[in-house]
A = this chain, B = another copy of it.
Amino acid sequence: MASAPRDPTRVRRRPERAAYDADAIVAVLDAGFLCHVGVVRDGRPVVVPTLYGRDSDRLLLHGSPVAGMFRDLGRTPTVSVTVTHVDGLVLARSAFHHSLNYRSVVIHGEAVELVEPDEKVRALRLFMDHVTPGRWDAVREPTAGELKQTSVWAVPFDRASAKVRTGPPVDDAEDYALPIWAGVLPLGLTAGMPVPDDRVPPEVAVPAHVSSWPDVAPG
């Protein structure tokens, strides 16, 4: 079996950090909204950042039908999607043992385009309420024309793995005697104060789904 393709979802490095169960994968996916999509274009890898939503056990992507990523998927739907959350710099006593606390998911799958209008609207609602829960009910829904200008794709994540590192640095035994500060600098994506655009009437207040957007504060 030496020449058989390796299982792309099997985590080979640091397997003790890996998880394959759906709960672990969904927990990482639901903590974020930005992914990096990898496709093969003219034989070369291309990695594109984009937002995502989740519909049960599949990731949702959307964008312009003429976006390069979707044209690539139209030719070859094999895709790799990675979601990564940075949780902290792990600062060890030795340069060698520095690391990062993080949570990540890597998905390998075949993307499927959603074409039926009702299915697209449903997916767009799930998408928006994933990124900003509660937003869909507050905004003008897409027109038929806008729907045509929006490609929606689903990537099933039945072939996925999560990888998580937490906790303090792990130094070599003899290095703990060194008078070097070591520990974790917690990091996380946080929200600032909402900035209304210039044409929001003064009587329209910041809605709760914006002011209480679920940020992930470090530490």
Binding site for B on A (CB under 8 A): 5-6, 8, 12-13, 34, 36-49, 51, 64, 66-68, 78-82, 84, 86, 88-89, 91-96, 98, 100, 102, 104, 106, 108, 124, 128, 131-132, 135-136, 138-143, 146, 149-150, 168-169, 175-176, 178-201, 203-207, 210, 213, 215, 217-219
Contact = CB atoms under 8 A, between A and B. Distances in A.
Copy number in the complex reads 2
Q: Which 7 pairs, one residue from A and one from B, show the smallest C-beta to C-beta distance? A: A192-B219, A192-B218, A38-B45, A186-B192, A38-B47, A168-B197, A36-B36
A181 B195 contact: no
A89 B132 contact: yes
Contact of A82 (B6, B48, B196): B48
A18 B159 CA distance: 34
Contacts of A49: 36, 82, 84, 102, 104
